[in-house]
Amino acid sequence: MERTAVLLVILNLWTSGLALNCRRVSGSLKQIDAGNGQVFGVNSANKIFTLYSGTWTQLSGSLKHVSVGPAGVWGVNANNYIHRLNHGDWVPVNGQLKQVDAGGMIFPAGVNMNDYVYCLQGGQASSWTSLPGRLKYYSCGPNSCWGVSSGNQIYIMKGVTSNTCAGSLNWENVSGALSMIEVSTDGKVYGVHSSGDIFAREGITSTNPTGTGWRQVPFRQKVKHVSYDLGHLWVIGTDNSIMDCTE
């Protein structure tokens, strides 16, 4: 990835009367994650990058999926082994996952190769807590965790706290269909449909973590991955292009 300044390409995309202004960011990534004011991503060669002052900086190591949030910076490699970033070094963590999320209340969570769901209380223990059911993608926020199944069905797990990473252990099916979903540090939920369209969940509050419905976010190209943090929606196109969008 080139370590060049961000390229500005303003797109006038309209949704709910507001312009979604996007700037094309230099480089190419297959997956991106934003949280706690930081942005990390991995490219098609599993090289790891973080965005610093508008420039991508490559980190050592090799990961196929990376996540940043209150639980720190976590990732999984091509063999599904789990690592956590500690003082600039990737430290191995017990267990195997194909996708990991660091957005929960100081705990990581994720799914393994067989779509079983896990969370790690406190982020330091050596034993992962198993949740019922199966999901192919799982993401947590301050009030709840969301996931999608192999059939693209959407589920929410309520009752999630810093002391109870598994939540209520009761899945609630949410209408709609998504291929991936991400919950931001402040609880906003965005996802991507198998068609490459972006959707945002509306009406989410601390007392109603499920929200009220889905709103399609108009976008000029098809996408495969999104992540939201501090007013910025980060979008990865199907061609691995990177966009930084604000409303």
Residue 122's CB is within 10 A of a number of other CB atoms, namely 12
Q: Give 41-86 pLDDT, tens digit per residue.
A: 999 999 999 999 889 999 999 999 999 999 999 999 999 999 999 9
pLDDT surpasses 60 at 18: no
Residue 115's CB is within 10 A of a number of other CB atoms, namely 17
Query: pLDDT exceeding 70 applies to what percent of the chain?
Result: 90
Residue 129 burial by Cβ neighbours in a 10 Å radius (0-12, 13-18, 19+):
middle
By the 8 A CB rule, do 104 and 144 touch?
Answer: no
Q: How would residue 203 be classed by pLDDT, with cut points 50, 70 and 90?
A: very high
Half-sphere exposure of 181 (CA within 13 A, CB side): 32
Helices (H), 53-107: none
Supply the pTM of this predicted model: 0.91
Name which of 21, 22, 25 is nearest 39 in CA terms.
Answer: 25
Beta-carbon contacts of 172 under 8 Å, excluding residues fewer than 6 positions away, are 155, 156, 157, 158, 210
Q: How would residue 11 be classed by pLDDT, with cut points 50, 70 and 90?
A: very low
Q: Does domain 11-140+214-246 have CATH number 2.130.10.10?
A: yes
Residue 26 burial by Cβ neighbours in a 10 Å radius (0-12, 13-18, 19+):
middle
Instruction: Look at the alpha carbons of 245, 225, 110, 73 in this order and tell me if their dihedral is positive or negative.
Output: negative
